[in-house]
Amino acid sequence: MENILNDDYWSQRYNDGQTGWDIGYVSTPLKAYFDQLTDKSVAILIPGCGNSYEAEYLLNNGFTNITLIDISAVLVERLQEKLQFCIENGTCQVIHQDFFTHQGQYDLIIEQTFLSALEPSLRPAYARQMHDLLKPRGKLVGVIFDFPFDGGPPFSGTKEEYLAMFEPYFQPVIFERCTNSIPQRAGNELFLRLDRK
């Protein structure tokens, strides 16, 4: 089946300003997670990065190895301009690419409204690709919706569905009700911490 959620689809959304997912600042649950990390040299990937307020926060706080990928050419061009300084000093790279074709090895991958942007049939491939992109003992950390949307994107899921999807590749699989969500998402998202098997 052809994937219509492609570069054209997402670039059109950015061109039209139809970016309801964009909260405009670093997500509070992720900020709290970042604030307790001590090693600022860890290799971090943010796939489906969008405007990447999380990356800006990390870079402003001394993290030195950030990779951002997004399928939208429009978004990536804007982001490369916004983060030009960090790209030039080598602390950050911004790649126009489909996540599923990306190759690399990371200590930490950050999820936020990327899984919910993908056709649900891609979820097994998402879990496998996340596993393959992590170094041994690497972690996938982030926030995912468990609120039942009509249609999509965003596409949601239940804790049980997420567990089944991740358990082949991660151990332990920890999902907790997010207690520090932004107000608009309070009660509708889980915080996930998964260790690569």
Span of 77-85, 107-115, 170-178, 183-191 interacting with ligand SAM by CB under 6 A: 107-115
Interacting positions 134-193 with ligand SAM (CB under 6 A):
none
Nearest Cα to 113, choosing from 56, 14, 46, 42?
A: 46
Span of 28-36, 55-63, 106-114, 128-136 interacting with ligand SAM by CB under 6 A: 106-114
Q: Is 4 helix (H, G, I), strand (E, B) or coil?
A: coil
Token readout for 79 is 């982001």
Question: What is the C-alpha to C-alpha distance for residues 79 and 76, in angstroms, rounded to an integer?
Answer: 5
Q: Which is nearer to ligand SAM, 41 or 60 (CB)?
A: 60
Single out the residue of 42, 68, 117, 134 in contact with ligand SAM (rule: CB under 6 A). 117
Single out the residue of 29, 34, 70, 86 in contact with ligand SAM (rule: CB under 6 A). 70
User: Does position 112 bind ligand SAM by CB under 6 A?
Assistant: yes
Interacting positions 81-100 with ligand SAM (CB under 6 A):
98-100
Contact in structure between 59 and 86 (CB atoms under 8 Å): yes
Question: What is the C-alpha to C-alpha distance for residues 139 and 130, in angstroms, rounded to an integer?
Answer: 9
User: Does position 114 bind ligand SAM by CB under 6 A?
Assistant: yes
Question: What is the C-alpha to C-alpha distance for residues 197 and 176, in angstroms, rounded to an integer?
Answer: 20
Rounded to the nearest whole angstrom, what is the least distance from the CB of residue 27 to ligand SAM in the complex? Answer: 7
Alpha helices in 52-158 (DSSP H): 53-60, 73-82, 84-88, 123-133
Q: Which is nearer to ligand SAM, 43 or 115 (CB)?
A: 115
User: Does position 72 bind ligand SAM by CB under 6 A?
Assistant: yes
Contact in structure between 38 and 108 (CB atoms under 8 Å): no
Contact in structure between 29 and 94 (CB atoms under 8 Å): no
User: Which spans of this chain sit near ligand SAM (rule: CB under 6 A)?
Assistant: 5, 10, 21-22, 47-51, 69-72, 75, 98-100, 112-114, 117-118
